Amino acid sequence: MVTMTAIELCELTKEYGRGGKAVRALDGLTVTVRPGTVTGFLGPNGAGKSTTMRIVLGLDRPTSGTALLDGRPYGARPEPLRRVGALLDAGAAHPGRTARDHLRVLASSNRIPDRRVAQVLEETGMAPAARRRVRTFSLGMRQRLGIAAALLGDPPVLLLDEPVNGLDPEGMVWLRGLVRRLADEGRTVLVSSHLMGEVARIADRVVVLGAGRLLADAALEDFLREHGDPAEPDSLEAAYLRLTAGATRHRTKKEV
Ligand SMILES: Nc1ncnc2c1ncn2[C@@H]1O[C@H](COP(=O)(O)OP(=O)(O)OP(=O)(O)O)[C@@H](O)[C@H]1O
């Protein structure tokens, strides 16, 4: 059993640039992402999902506010891959390395035993491609390698940014099973996606951002009940569009 580790975001604000050109990517975001749960992380393009994940990982610094794991910032911890596994950018592996070497380098710098490399290659269906160079991989294979890297340290927290991208139908079914199992083991699984059908299948809860602010944080069924379209009560897409369209109107009204 893994240690239960929530992600706690408190009044998180991030501005890129300065003065008149500043972009407020996050605007006072406060939310807790729970362990033992698959949380769908939703929001229109530019809503702040990737920025949030980057801040949790310590890849970006918030302008103000805090992002804590187990009460401490992620960067303050040794051996980061054992704390959080992340799929942020499927192009992140060095193109000249083989899949196996890419994972071996990550494992050794995080004091992860080498046998985990073979395990995650097997688990992600990448074992047959282990000795091939990353530059020869399809998008789906890169995604699988990124997921393998996220799983390497057996972490209690997983951040998966658009993990379904490029996966074939078999891969999508596999990913559903994987995120379910990870959450059932007590892990915190945050999955961003624009594919509402997929999110409806895998998520227990949804956190929805709009223009850097929290629009909703609810169990999937409560979200559907509260925001759903009566004509399509089971459609997450319809509920999501109603909520985010409302937010856009609200913003427009305020700006006028
Ligand atoms: N390095 C950066 N410099 C300047 N602005 C940035 C930077 N990174 C993100 N932004 C801006 O911050 C806002 C939030 O972007 P972010 O990538 O977090 O959104 P997102 O919800 O992940 O979007 P998508 O669904 O398109 O991936 C956008 O307005 C974006 O242009």
Nearest C-alpha to atom 31 of ligand 1 is from which residue?
Answer: 46
- Name the residue ranges covered by the structural domains of the chain: 36-45+80-208+215-255
CA–centroid distance, 194 to ligand 1, in Å, is 15
* Ligand 1 centroid distance, CA of 26 (Å): 9
Whole-angstrom distance, CA of residue 225 vs CA of residue 219: 10
pLDDT category at 249 given cuts 50, 70, 90 is very low
| Mean pLDDT value across residues 168-178 | 95
Residue 61 is predicted with a pLDDT of 93
Separation in Å, CA 51 to CA 59, 66, 161, 181: 9, 13, 11, 26
Checking if the pLDDT of 253 tops 50, the result is no
Q: pTM value?
A: 0.93
> Taking residues 53-66, what's their average pLDDT?
93
Interval 220-249 mean pLDDT: 88
Mean pLDDT score of the chain: 91
* Assigned fold of 36-45+80-208+215-255: Rossmann fold (3.40.50)
pLDDT of 8 strictly over 50: yes
Give the pLDDT score at 247. Answer: 58
Instruction: Record the tokens describing residue 50, joined without a space.
Output: 């990737």
pLDDT for residue 147 is more than 90: yes
For residues 101 and 130, give the distance between their C-alpha atoms in angstroms, rounded to a whole number. Answer: 8
Residue 252: what pLDDT? 40
User: Which pLDDT does position 115 carry in this prediction?
Assistant: 95
- C-beta of 55 in contact with ligand 1 (< 6 A): no
Between 21 and 31, the higher pLDDT residue: 31
- The residue among 186, 138, 194 whose CA lies nearest residue 161 is 194
% of the chain with per-residue pLDDT over 70: 93
pLDDT of residue 81: 83
Mean pLDDT of 117-133: 96
Pocket test for ligand 1, best of 14, 49, 52 (most atoms within 8 A of CB): 49
**Quick one: pLDDT at residue 71?**
85
Contact (CB, 8 A) for 47 and 210: yes
Other beta carbons less than 10 A from residue 132's beta carbon: 14
